[in-house]
Chains A and B, each alone.
Chain A
Amino acid sequence: MTLGPAVDALAVWLSGGDPAWWAIGLAAAAVWALPLMAVVLPIAALGQIIERKVAAAMQRRLGPNSVGLDGVVRLVVRLSLPFVSRAGQDRLIGRISSLPGMSLFRTLGLGQLAADGVKMLGKEDIIPAGADGWVFRLAPYLALTGAFLPFAAIPFAQNVVALEVPVGALYAIAVSGISVMALLMAGWGSGNKFSMLGGMRAVAQVVSYEIPVGLAIAGVVLWCGTMDLHGIVAHQYNGSWASFLGWNIFQSPFLLLLACVLFFAGLAECQRTPFDMAEAESELVSGFNTEYSGMRWGMFAMAEYSEMILVGAILSTLFLGGYQSPIFENVIVALPVWLETLIHVGILLAKFTTVLVIMVWIRWTLPRFRVDQVMRLCWLTLVPLCLFALFGLALTMLIPSLVMPADAQATILGVAYGRLPAMPHLALGLVGHALVWIVPLALGFLLVIAARRKHGRQHPALTQLTGGA
C-alpha cells in the first residue's frame, strides 16, 4: 500500500480536477506529513518523559510527579457549567480529581509535558538585536525537518510505511544531513560569539560522525544486498520460532561491531552526552541554543529527541530485525493482517524505547568528551573500526563462494522482497564457523588486552578509593 494514490486523489478533490501545485502540496502534507508528525511528536514527548524519569531514578529522586489535570479540570468545569453554584462546581471538581486514574497520571509525570509545552508557548519571544533575521528564525524548523523526514522511509509494519523508497537506507542518512544546516544557521544567526563557537563545534561533530554512520549502514547494505529497508527487514527473517537468530546483529561479529559503532556514532549525531560538548559545556550555556527562548528552543529539543528516536529506528531496522518479534515471529506472520500489523508496530515502538532508555542511561552516567577527543574518537577510532569491519564482512561473504557449489550460494546470499528466509551460513560447517566467528573474536580480545597493557596499571590510591576492587 502506498500513499501516492491517496495524495493524488486528495489533490484532485481539492482543486476540483487537474491538480494545481498548491493542491498537490496540501495533499502531500495532509497525507504524509501530518500523520507522520502525529506519530513522531508523541514519541518525542515520550522521550522527554522517559529522560526525566530515568534521570530522577538514577539520581534517587522522584522526578516530575506533581503536575496533574487539576487545572484543566477546573477550567473546563467552570467554563462549561457557569450556571451551577460555586460550591457545586467545587464538589464536581473534587469528584473528578479523586477518580482512580488521576493520581497515577500525576505520579507518572505525564502532565509535566503539557505543562512544559504551555510554559514554552507562553514565554516571551526574545530575538537578540544582533541576530540575523531570517536565518535565526528558520533554523529550528530546519532542525525539525531534518529530524522528521527520515522517518518517512522506516517501515513500521509489513505494509505500513509513509514513503516507498527503493534506497531507504541511503535516503535516511542523506536527509538527516539537513540538520547540519540548521546547526550552522542557529550558531551564526544568534549573533553571539558563544553560540557561533557552539555551532561550529556542533557542525564539525555532526559532519564527522556521519562517516561512521554511513559506513555502518554500508556494511548492512553489503550483507543484505539491498538498500531497501523492507528488503533488509525481510532478510532478517529466518522462519523459526527463535527469530532473534535471524537478526543482523547476530549474523557476524563484524555486524555486531558495526551495530555498536552505529549506536555510538548515532549518539554523537544527536549530540547527547558524552558527545554534547557543543551544547552543554558550561562556558557555552547552551551553545547554539543559547539565544532561543520559548517554543523556538522547544523545537530544537523536539528535534533532538526525534533524532534520538531516529537512531533507535535505524538501529532497530538495520540490525535488530525491524518490526519483527524476537521470538515466534513465524507465528505472528500467520495471524490476520490487522492483528499482525498492530503487533509489529508495537514491537518496533518497544525497540525504539529500549534504545532510547539506553541512550538516556548513558547520558546521565558519563561525563562529556572535549572537542578534540570527540574528533579523535571519530577519525582515529570509529572510522578505522568501520573499515576493518567492512573488510572482514566482505571476506566473510567471500568464503562461501570459495568453499561451496554455486547453486547453494544463491540461497545464502540471495535476498528478495517478501518473506524469503535468509539462511545463515550453517552450510559452512565447523571450519566455516571457526573462521567467521572465532578468529575475529580472538583478534578483538587480543586488541583489548594490548590496549589495557598500554594504558598501564591503576594507581593503588584509586584502587583503595573504589573499595579495593
Chain B
Amino acid sequence: MSPDLAIETLGGERMRLNMGPHHPATHGVLRLVVDTDGEVVANCAPDHGYLHRAIEKIGECVEWPMFVPYTDRVDYVCAMNANLAYCVAVEKLLNSDPATKVIVPMRAECIRVIVAELNRISSHLVAVGAMAMDLGGYTPFLHAIAQREGVNDIFEKLCGQRLTYNYITIGGVGFDLHANAAAETEAFLAQFEKEMIRFNQLITTNTIFQNRCAGVAVISAADAVAYGLVGPNLRGSGVDWDIRRDEPYGIYGQLGVRVPLGQAFAGRAGRVGDCYDRFVVRLLEINESVRLVRAAIKLLPPAAGKANDPVGGFQADVAKQLRKPPKGEIRVRTEAPRGEMGYVIVSDGSKVPYRVRVRTGSFTACSIFNTVMKGIFLADVVTVIGSFDIVVPEIDR
C-alpha cells in the first residue's frame, strides 16, 4: 500500500470509501480509494494490479508470432487494434533491414483497416453504452450491445471468434474475407447508422444526461498533454492529435482520417474537455469509422490465387524472417480506440523477443484521476470513470 493511502492522511470529518475491485460499474477490477467529505471527494487514489498477467514477461518467452494472441488480451474490447499495434511494430522491425523486408499485401492492408475500424465501432459502443448505463440509462446500453452483436457476427464468420480474434498477423491477416463479407458489412453499416440516430436521440441529447456530464471533470488541453492522455480523452480536451492522420501506418494515409475534437458540445453549461465532450467525441469517431470502413471496402483489390501475392493476397511469407529478425529497438504507436497503443520492441536477433513493452492509454489516464476528481460529487466519480473509458486489462496487462 502506498504511503499516501496511510490512514493518518485522513482529515477530521472525512470518510474513506473503497470502490472496488468488485465494481458494479462494468469497468473491470479497478480499486479506487476515495476519501470523501460527505458528498464531496477530497482524494482519489487508484490501486491497480488486480488483473496483472505478466504479458510483457510472457513476451520475452514466446516466439514472435506466438505473442499475437496475448496482444488480444491486452485490450480485449478492441482486440483487432491491439493485434494490429504489435504486428505493425514487428513489421517495422523487419523492414529496418532490407534483407528481411516484408511487404504486406494491399488486400491485407485494406482488410486490416476494415476490421480495425469495425472493432473501433464496437469498442466505442461499449464505452458510450457503459457510461450511459452507469448514469442510469440501461436501455441505450442494451441497444448499443445489440449493435455490437452485428460486428461480432461478422467477425465470427471471418475468424471464428467474437472477442479475442487473433486475426491480424505479422505480414497480413489470418484468413481471407469470407464469401459475402463486403455485402454483409455494408448491410450492417446501413442499419447501424439508423440505429445510432435513435441511440443519440435517446441518450445523447437527453437533458438529464447532459446536465449530469456537462462541466464535470474539465481537463484543459495543457493538462491533457502534461498527464499523457491519449485518444478521445485527449481530443475531447481540444488537442488535435490522431496517429492515424499524423503518423499514419498501413493505408490510413490514403484514406484521410477526419478527427473530431471537443467543443463544449453541451451548450451553455458545457466546457471544452468535460465528460460530455469525451462522450460526444466517441460518437463522432463512430461515424468517422463507418466512413473509413466503406472507403476501405472500396479500395479492396480482388483476391488473388496465392496467399502471399503482393496485391491480392492476405498474408506475406514471414516465417523465415521471423526466425532471424534484425537486431535493434523499434518504437511504434498506433491509434487504438482508447488512444495511443505504443510498442517498444527490442530484438536481439533471435526468434524470441528480448523485450516487449506495451504502452496503453488507460494506464496513464489513471494518473489524472486524483487531480480531476478533487471537489466533485461522489456521484460524479462514476461519470468521470465512464468518460475516460478505462479498461483494466490495459492498465494492468
**A interface, CB within 8 angstroms of B:** 55, 58-61, 193-194, 197, 273-274, 276-277, 280-283, 285, 364-373, 455-459, 461-462, 465-467, 469
Partner of B139, one of A58, A193, A197, A283: A58
Closest chain A residue to B202, Cβ basis: A365
Q: Are A59 and B197 in contact (CB under 8 A)?
A: no
Partner of B265, one of A194, A367, A459: A459
Q: How far is the CA of A55 from the CA of B138 in the complex (A)?
A: 9
Q: How far is the CA of A461 from the CA of B284 in the complex (A)?
A: 8
Q: Are B23 and A282 in contact (CB under 8 A)?
A: yes
* Main SS at interface, chain A: loop
Given the known inter-chain contacts A366-B208, A461-B263, A461-B265, please indicate yes or no for A282 contacting B39, CB distance below 8 A: no
Of A274, A277, A283, A365, most B-chain CB atoms within 10 Å: A283
Q: How far is the CA of A281 from the CA of B382 in the complex (A)?
A: 8
Q: Are A371 and B377 in contact (CB under 8 A)?
A: yes
Distance in Å from the Cβ of B72 to the closest Cβ of chain A? 27
Asked if B211 is at the interface of the complex by the 8 Å CB criterion, the answer is yes
Partner of A282, one of B208, B263, B382: B382
Please choose the segment from B128-136, B170-178, B220-228, B298-306 that sits at the chain A interface, where 4 or more of its residues have CB less than 8 A away: B128-136
Q: Can you name 24 A-B pairs with beta carbons within 8 Å?
A: A59-B142, A282-B23, A282-B134, A283-B381, A365-B202, A366-B206, A366-B208, A367-B132, A367-B136, A367-B208, A370-B377, A371-B39, A371-B379, A372-B377, A373-B212, A455-B268, A457-B267, A458-B205, A459-B263, A462-B265, A465-B287, A466-B197, A466-B205, A467-B200
Closest chain B residue to A275, Cβ basis: B136
Closest chain A residue to B261, Cβ basis: A461
Distance in Å from the Cβ of B281 to the closest Cβ of chain A? 9
Q: Are A367 and B135 in contact (CB under 8 A)?
A: yes
Partner of A461, one of B138, B212, B280: B280
Closest 8 CB pairs of A and B: A368-B136, A467-B197, A282-B25, A367-B136, A59-B142, A367-B137, A367-B135, A465-B200
Given the known inter-chain contacts A282-B23, A465-B200, please indicate yes or no for A366 contacting B379, CB distance below 8 A: no
Chain B window 363-380, contacts with chain A (Cβ cutoff 8 Å), 1 for yes, 0 for no = 000000000000001111
Asked if B283 is at the interface of the complex by the 8 Å CB criterion, the answer is yes
Q: How far is the CA of A274 from the CA of B268 in the complex (A)?
A: 23
Q: Are B138 and A59 in contact (CB under 8 A)?
A: yes
CB-CB < 8 A to A372: which residues of B? 39, 377
Q: How far is the CA of A465 from the CA of B137 in the complex (A)?
A: 18
Asked if B201 is at the interface of the complex by the 8 Å CB criterion, the answer is yes
Distance in Å from the Cβ of B126 to the closest Cβ of chain A? 16
Closest chain B residue to A59, Cβ basis: B142
Told that A367-B136, A371-B377 touch, could you supply 9 new A-B pairs with CB distance under 8 A? A273-B136, A367-B209, A370-B380, A372-B39, A456-B267, A459-B263, A459-B265, A461-B280, A465-B200
Q: Are A274 and B136 in contact (CB under 8 A)?
A: yes
Asked if B19 is at the interface of the complex by the 8 Å CB criterion, the answer is yes
Partner of B136, one of A58, A59, A366, A459: A366
Asked if B24 is at the interface of the complex by the 8 Å CB criterion, the answer is yes
Could you say which interface size class chain B belongs to?
35 or more
Q: Are B136 and A458 in contact (CB under 8 A)?
A: no
Distance in Å from the Cβ of B18 to the closest Cβ of chain A? 9
Q: Are B381 and A459 in contact (CB under 8 A)?
A: no
CB-CB < 8 A to A368: which residues of B? 135-136, 208, 212
Asked if B260 is at the interface of the complex by the 8 Å CB criterion, the answer is yes
Partner of A283, one of B138, B211, B378: B378
CB-CB < 8 A to B132: which residues of A? 367
Q: Are A373 and B211 in contact (CB under 8 A)?
A: yes
Given the known inter-chain contacts A457-B267, A465-B283, please indicate yes or no for A369 contacting B197, CB distance below 8 A: no
CB-CB < 8 A to B204: which residues of A? 462, 465-466
Q: Are A60 and B142 in contact (CB under 8 A)?
A: yes
Closest chain B residue to A454, Cβ basis: B268
Asked if B33 is at the interface of the complex by the 8 Å CB criterion, the answer is no
Q: How far is the CA of A59 from the CA of B139 in the complex (A)?
A: 6
CB-CB < 8 A to B203: which residues of A? 367
Q: Are B197 and A465 in contact (CB under 8 A)?
A: yes
Asked if B15 is at the interface of the complex by the 8 Å CB criterion, the answer is yes
Q: How far is the CA of A337 from the CA of B372 in the complex (A)?
A: 68
CB-CB < 8 A to A370: which residues of B? 212, 377, 379-380
Q: How far is the CA of A55 from the CA of B140 in the complex (A)?
A: 12
Distance in Å from the Cβ of A200 to the closest Cβ of chain B? 9
Of A280, A282, A370, A371, most B-chain CB atoms within 10 Å: A282
Q: Are A277 and B379 in contact (CB under 8 A)?
A: yes
Q: How far is the CA of A98 from the CA of B266 in the complex (A)?
A: 57
Asked if B143 is at the interface of the complex by the 8 Å CB criterion, the answer is yes
Q: Are A193 and B17 in contact (CB under 8 A)?
A: yes
CB-CB < 8 A to A58: which residues of B? 139
Distance in Å from the Cβ of A70 to the closest Cβ of chain B? 29
Q: How far is the CA of A466 from the CA of B19 in the complex (A)?
A: 35
CB-CB < 8 A to A466: which residues of B? 197, 200-201, 204-205
Given the known inter-chain contacts A282-B23, A282-B25, A285-B24, please indicate yes or no for A459 contacting B142, CB distance below 8 A: no
Distance in Å from the Cβ of B135 to the closest Cβ of chain A? 4
Chain B window 321-337, contacts with chain A (Cβ cutoff 8 Å), 1 for yes, 0 for no = 00000000000000000
Q: How far is the CA of A462 from the CA of B263 in the complex (A)?
A: 11
Distance in Å from the Cβ of B241 to the closest Cβ of chain A? 19
